[in-house]
Structures are given as C-alpha cells and as structure tokens.
Amino acid sequence: MEFTAQQIAALIQGRIEGDPEVKVRSFGRLENATAGQIAFFSNPKYEEYLYSTQASIIIVNESLEPEHPIGATLIKVKDAYSAFASLLSEYEKIKRQNLVGIQQPVFIHPTAKIGDNVFIGAFSYIGENVVIRDHVKIYPQVFLGSNVVIDHDSILFAAVKVQHDCVIGSHVSIHAGTVIGSDGFGYAPQADGTYKKIPQIGNVVIEDNVEIGSNCTIDRSTIGSTVIRAGAKLDNLIQIAHNVEIGNNTVIAAQSGISGSTKVGKNVMIGGQVGIVGHIQIADGAKINAQSGVSKSIKQENMAVTGTPAFEYTHALRSQSLSRNLPTLEKRIKELEDLVAELRKK
C-alpha cells in the first residue's frame, strides 16, 4: 500500500512542511529508515538521526525547532508518539478490511449467530448459541464455548480460548494463546487433608477497548463475573484470578498475578512481576513498582508503592539509602562504643 504525505496528514490532523505528494510504502525506525518509509521523532535522544535519516516522511512534534536542515517531509502534530500509534492502528485496520469469510475446515454450531464482514480462520470451533457481531476477526484455532458473545470489531488471534458464557466487548484485541474463562482456583480443605473442588459457575466479562497480550489467563468467577473494565491494557503472561475486577484504563505489565476477589481501581499502573494477594482493594491511580508484593489494600489514590511487602515509594527509597549506608553506620557506632569505653575508664 502506498500513501502520500497529504493523505497521512489528514488521518492524524497534522500540518505538512515539505512535499505533500511524497509517497511512502512502509514504516521505519528513524535511525535506519530508507527512502519510501515513514518514521517519527519524539525523543530528544534520537535527534542526531533526524538530520541523517533517509526516511521520506517524519512525524514530529509541532514544537520542534530543528538546528539543521532536514531532508524529509515533516508532518507536525501535537504529540508525535501518539500520532504515530494512531497511524499504525489505521494501517492495521486497512490491512484487515479484506480479511472476510470463513475458512475451512471449521465447526460452527447451527445455533450460532454470525454478523456481517466476519472472518473465521481454519480449525476454529464456534459453540452452541455463540454470538459473533459485525466485523469481528477470529484467527485460526480459536475456541469459543457455548453462549459466548463477541461484540463488533474485536479481534481474537490464533489459539485464543474463550470458555462458555463469557462476554467480550467491542474493539477488544486478545492475542495468541490467551485463555478466557478457565476455572478459578477454588478448593475447600477437608478433614482428611484432601481438597474438594468448588465449582466455578460464573463467567468473565471484558468491556470495550481492552487489549490482552499473549498467553494470559483470566479465570471465571465462582459466582458472578470476573471483570476487565473498558480501556484496560494487559501485557503478556498475566494471571487474573476469579472474581477480580480490573478498573478502567488500568495497565498491567508482563508476569504479574492478581489473586482472587481483589478489586483494582481505574488508571492504576502495575509493573512487571508484581504479585497482589486476594481480597484487597487497590485505589484509583495507584502505581506499583516492578517485582513488588502487595499484601494489603492501597487506600490512598495515586499512591506509588514498591518492595515486598510493598510500601510507599519515597519511604522505600529512603530505606534503601539507609541500607546502603549500613556498613558506614556500623563503623561509626563501633567508634562511638570505643570512645564511650575509654571515657568510662577515665
């Protein structure tokens, strides 16, 4: 596909400086882009490449004041990074417009309802009473259990599994290998030391504009719903246990795990490899540093925490600073003890 600077500027509401008819066919990184590619510049660390790149078009912040001539056509926008992300999204949509139809072999239950302009990849299984609304893309080897609902314009990549009764909103992306609606980890200890499984009869509800990375597991609730609210973004390799609720626009980095019945507020940022115990609450806007272990509720909004057990970020930094100085403090204490001993002798 080929696009002019004029067409791209219209998509991202940008202002052109240079040739509006210059054409690009692909995307490139600023430092190694070639003629016919479009790149973006927003991080001052890469300014040297702004003057040497071979890219035909560069998306830049409107505040840019270059120190040297730039050979490429510029498209100036308020936020180059966000504009480039929007452009990539539009490009993906255009690529998928022609991805329509049902490949073979697939199994589609006679009671399933399939909307318009849907794509279903080979070796997929569409169960009883499934509802797939318009413009949904289902890649090969996807499993949809009975009564699953997939709302319009959502994408399920290869080998995604959505178990019975789960509900997926619109404009949701679920990447390869993720399992939605597996049983929650619920067992009742018995007098003889064994464990009796507690049936998990709830479901998972994923609201609109959510993105879930590869190989995540989101467990169905014991009763009610495990809920991922609108706008949430989950990285790869994340475990969400039964009856958890993730708030609007919360982001969670890879290898994190959230235990059962914990409620995470909106606009929370959770770093990689964070562990959160069950039955607690995380306040809106909280920031949890990577590899933290959260063992009790975070009640104050916008608080940043770190460590295991996690506690307030600035306090943690002070504690770490003191820890680094412990050898010096030990030496000073020993000197004081020796001095006190000498004074006592006198």
Beta bridge partners of 102: 120
Q: What is the spatial distance between Cα 8 and Cα 5, in angstroms, rounded to a whole number?
A: 5
Cα 145 from Cα 125, distance rounded (Å): 8
Residue 110 carries which side chain, given as an amino acid letter? P
Give CA–CA dist 346/343, Å, rounded: 5
- Ramachandran region of residue 11, left (φ > 0), alpha (ψ -120 to 50) or beta? alpha
Could you tell me which residues come within 8 angstroms of residue 106 by beta carbon, excluding any fewer than 6 positions away?
120, 121, 122, 123, 124, 125, 126
Q: Which of 234, 118, 127 shows the shortest CA–CA distance to 173?
A: 234
Catalytic residue selected from 68, 135, 242, 315:
242
Which structure tokens are listed for 35? Answer: 């003629």
Give yes or no: 175 in active site. no
Task: Write down the number of H helices and E strands in the chain.
Answer: 5, 40
* CA–CA distance, 3 with 310 (Å, rounded to integer): 50
Query: 84 in helix, strand or coil?
Result: helix
Cβ atoms of 36 and 55 within 8 Å: the answer is no
**Residue 240 burial by Cβ neighbours in a 10 Å radius (0-12, 13-18, 19+):** buried
Count of Cβ atoms closer than 10 Å to residue 37 Cβ:
21
Catalytic residues: 242
